[in-house]
Amino acid sequence: MSVTNATPFNSSAHLIQNVFMGSQITAFNYKYNGTTNANVTNQVGYFTGGGNIIGIDSGIVMSSGNINLIPNNGFASASFSGAGDSDVLAVAQSVGWGTPPSIMRDKAVLEFDFVAPQGDSISFEYCFGSEEWPVYPCSQYNDAFGFFISGPGINGPYSNNAENVSVIPGTDTLPVAITSIHNGTGGTPCNGNPSYAQYYNNGPISNAFTFADLNTSNTYGAWTDVFETKRIWVNACDTYHVKMAICDGVDWIFDSAVFIKAKSFEFFGVTVNPQPSYNPWGFDSALYEGCGNLELYFTRVDSVYPPYDLQYTIAGSATMGLDYENVPGCTLVNGVYECEVTFAQDSTHVGFDIEIYYDTQNEVVETFDFIVTDSNVTMCGDDDTLALTIIDQPVLSVSAFGNTTLDCNDSAALIGVTINNGLPPFTYSWSNTTSVDSSQYVQP
């Protein structure tokens, strides 16, 4: 593994936007340790070559010590005599067992804002490593970190009502920290009881004070599996704030670090794709009475695919059962249809056909709207409505052309028909030939 914070990786803006952000996401208001657009210190930088060591190939590394000690395969303990962070202190004290720290030191804090795009939730991936393992779990030296997200719809216990999304898988609030994950051994063994040890990884210990994995060139005494953060639900087009922070517990020594996967800051949602099975002009939002079906597909763009029930609404002037067939999973509530469709385990797509009826009534245009709150169908500033129209079939109008009377001395004459209205494709049948063209030459 190698690390660097040489230019451009000394820039908080570059690390956040160019290393961390996924596609089509733009961050702004970058801060490092509270200073806008500040360059980072030796506590933060860029790492590569971590795939065979920690399970993440590259990304941002944030440490309570000096990141340049990480590749040295030796004891990592650097002090910057820096202050702590109140949110990280609250995280460390929330573990609920052992001796909680009374103060945090040597903070490294990256912050930024972003506007939620068309997706509905956010998560990213990371790994935590520390020199405090395996000796100091359940002691006051509980190094900790947090990924805090705040904004509309979020009501957590941290600053700005933020929620910490770096929690142990299967829990809702238990943070990842030295005391919450360990194998129950070491100088302060938590009564010999391991805690979430299935996520704990360590290798040979070189001596009593150098907890290095000699086989993997990783300085820290132990590290976690690669975790995905708790998924946080966001409102499309609203602005949110992210704060990523790590600190030493009580002392300024025995470094810890969090490795954040590059390009893993991603949004997830559902797209809705309509496709008329018949539309001669190719408009994907126009349907004609009695002409084919509406093929409707829901596609989810998550990174994992558990079973999922998607709620949506059907509204508009068209009437279910009269203008189009009954849609499964729908119930009429206060004039609109509340509907649900289910994604099976590991399924990315679900869809069905809806037949459009011919009702013989002159209605010109009827609306047929799908309203999906969990979607990235529309851009910011619009609502999440997929608007379709059902159109009456245009009345077929035919006019003939060509001479209708010929005598024996006349030459061949061109006769045929012109279609002035109606829906293509059209078919033609002649009584005196097998031609399928709209016109033909006839001999007297």
For residue 44, the SS3 value is: strand
DSSP β-bridge partners for residue 104: 249
Domain encompassing residue 155 = 2-267
The pLDDT value given to residue 53: 85
The span from the CA of 37 to the CA of 57, in Å, is: 26
pLDDT in tens, the chain (444 residues): 899 999 999 999 999 999 999 876 889 999 999 999 999 999 999 999 988 888 999 999 999 988 988 876 654 555 566 788 999 999 999 987 778 888 999 999 999 999 887 666 788 999 999 888 877 888 888 888 999 999 999 999 999 999 999 999 999 899 999 889 988 876 666 777 789 999 998 753 333 223 333 334 456 778 899 999 998 888 777 899 999 999 988 876 788 899 999 999 987 667 676 665 555 555 556 777 777 778 888 877 665 567 778 888 898 888 899 888 899 899 999 988 999 989 888 888 888 888 888 877 776 788 888 887 655 544 554 556 778 888 877 777 888 887 667 777 777 778 888 888 777 778 888 887 788 888 888 776
The pLDDT value given to residue 216: 43
In angstroms, what is the C-alpha Rg of the chain? Answer: 32
Domain boundary among 216, 247, 267: 267
Same domain membership, residue 167 and residue 81: yes
Same domain membership, residue 208 and residue 96: yes
Tell me the DSSP string of 309-342: EEEEEEESSS-BTTTBPPPTTEEEETTEEEEEEE
Structure tokens at 80: 């910057």
The pLDDT value given to residue 145: 94
Kindly state the DSSP code that residue 160 receives in the 8-state scheme.
G
The span from the CA of 122 to the CA of 345, in Å, is: 20
The pLDDT value given to residue 207: 30
Q: Locate tokens 């002409």: which residue?
A: 291
Give the CB-side neighbour count of residue 315, counting CA atoms within 13 A: 12
The span from the CA of 227 to the CA of 304, in Å, is: 13
The span from the CA of 102 to the CA of 424, in Å, is: 78
Same domain membership, residue 414 and residue 336: no
The span from the CA of 80 to the CA of 255, in Å, is: 11
In the sheet where 104-115 sits, what is the strand order?
35-36, 27-32, 104-115, 239-249, 144-150, 163-164
**What dihedral do alpha carbons 181, 150, 106, 33 form, nearest 10°?**
150
Structure tokens at 245: 């922070």
Find how far residue 244's CA is from the centre of its chain. 19
Spell out the alpha helix ranges (H) of 229-320: none
Domain boundary among 351, 373, 391: 391
Same domain membership, residue 144 and residue 293: no
Residue 231 corresponds to which amino acid?
R
Same domain membership, residue 379 and residue 409: no
Kindly state the DSSP code that residue 237 receives in the 8-state scheme.
T
Report the phi/psi class of residue 139: left, alpha or beta, with left for phi > 0 and alpha for psi in -120 to 50: beta
CB 207 within 8 A of CB 225: no
Same domain membership, residue 184 and residue 114: yes
The span from the CA of 125 to the CA of 166, in Å, is: 9
Same domain membership, residue 129 and residue 23: yes
The pLDDT value given to residue 218: 52
Same domain membership, residue 31 and residue 19: yes
Positions of E strands within 144-191: 144-150, 163-164
Same domain membership, residue 30 and residue 86: yes
The span from the CA of 174 to the CA of 89, in Å, is: 14
The span from the CA of 381 to the CA of 158, in Å, is: 30
Same domain membership, residue 182 and residue 62: yes
The span from the CA of 92 to the CA of 162, in Å, is: 16
CATH code of residue 273: 2.60.40.2030
CB 75 within 8 A of CB 87: no
Domain boundary among 239, 267, 295: 267
- Split into its structural domains, the chain has a count of 3
First to last CA, the chain: 91
CB 84 within 8 A of CB 106: yes
Structure tokens at 34: 């509270």
Same domain membership, residue 53 and residue 24: yes
Find how far residue 11's CA is from the centre of its chain. 26
For residue 253, the SS3 value is: coil
Same domain membership, residue 227 and residue 340: no
